[in-house]
Amino acid sequence: MTISYPDDTFDGIHEAACHGFLHSVESGAAVDGPGMRFVFFMAGCQFRCLYCHNPDTWKLHNGTRVEVDDMLAQVGKYSRFLKFAGGVTFSGGEPLMQAEFVGATARAIKERWGLHIALDTQGFLHGKVPDSWFDAIDLVMLDIKHIDPVRYKELTAQELQPTLDFAQRLVRLGKQMRIRYVLVPGWSDAPDDVAKMADLVASYGDLVELVEVLPFHQLGISKWDRLGLDYKLRDTPTPTHDEAEAARDIFRARGLVAT
């Protein structure tokens, strides 16, 4: 399957630290890291995942222009609660599309309130930042979308290897990880593929605190339709509870905690 979208769905990487582009926020998220999270959904993503449920985040400059102080003002209202209840998560889109700005904001949050900070990413752009960039990040929620490089590219329009290299970098840095794996019938649910993924993830050792097997859903169709994009998984079903549990059991058989 070939992925082809209009050229204007991608408008580049943002390299300024003083300002960035924010798609939206969520102040009480329970599925974007440990505890209750304040989530910044950053604008911009260079992936074109067939199952993306937020294609409206793809274009960087469709987001709202913000400065670090704007981000701090939003978190500050909840900082006391977040200190003991959870923390802050940078998601997207793809937050590493705005690595300088996200890094500056994360460091400011850590210095001012000492909050737990998570990064939700596919890691493709990790090579653009030094090791020290991750000092303020307590947890990386790494989205590995498929174990087979060919299927990965068919699914995302990008290469797998940078993400795998990023995982090894996190191991070297001793950084805690949660692995996210979207279970898509006919794409990423083959038991052999799940087993190969589980073997890889198990090799990261105790740094992996959790594997999240996320059943594919159709909630993003309306956004694709509004944007005039061809949603190729329109007829793909959502995995059943038993199918999702079977995939989780493959991870659990390697000694991993899977939900």
Whether 53 maps to a domain, the answer reads yes
Question: How many domains are there within the chain?
Answer: 1
| For residue 64, pLDDT beyond 90 | yes
Whether 9 maps to a domain, the answer reads no
* 5 confidence band (pLDDT: 50, 70, 90): very low
User: What is the structure's pLDDT at 241?
Assistant: 97
CA distance 5 to 3: 7
- Taking only the tens place, the pLDDT of each residue in 151-195 is 999 999 999 999 999 999 999 999 999 999 999 999 999 999 999
Question: What mean pLDDT do residues 134-149 have?
Answer: 98
Question: What mean pLDDT do residues 48-71 have?
Answer: 93
Whether 11 maps to a domain, the answer reads no
* 4 confidence band (pLDDT: 50, 70, 90): very low
* 11 confidence band (pLDDT: 50, 70, 90): low
What Rg, from alpha-carbon coordinates, does the chain have? 18
- Helix, strand, or coil here: 84? helix
User: What is the structure's pLDDT at 1?
Assistant: 42
CATH of the domain at 176: 3.20.20.70
Whether 27 maps to a domain, the answer reads yes
CA distance 122 to 140: 10
Total H helices, total E strands in the chain: 8, 8
Question: What mean pLDDT do residues 109-118 have?
Answer: 98
* 121: β partners: 142
Question: What mean pLDDT do residues 48-77 have?
Answer: 94
Whether 94 maps to a domain, the answer reads yes
Q: Is the dihedral of CA 34, 40, 41, 45 positive or negative?
A: negative
Burial class (CB in 10 A: 0-12, 13-18, 19+), 122: buried
Whether 247 maps to a domain, the answer reads no
Judged by average pLDDT, the poorest of 4-13, 80-89, 137-146, 240-249 is: 4-13
| Residue whose pair of structure tokens reads 């959790």 in the numeric block | 210
| For residue 6, pLDDT beyond 90 | no
Whether 54 maps to a domain, the answer reads yes
Question: What mean pLDDT do residues 49-77 have?
Answer: 94
Yes or no: say if 241 and 254 are a contact pair by the CB < 8 Å rule.
no
Beta-strand relationship, 86-91 and 116-121: parallel
In the chain, beta strands by DSSP E: 19-29, 36-42, 64-67, 86-91, 116-121, 139-143, 176-183, 208-215
- At residue 177's C-alpha, the angle toward residues 108 and 50, to 5°, is 95
| Residue whose pair of structure tokens reads 């794409």 in the numeric block | 187
Whether 151 maps to a domain, the answer reads yes
Give the range of the structural domain holding residue 102, as residue numbers without chain letter. Answer: 19-182+206-234
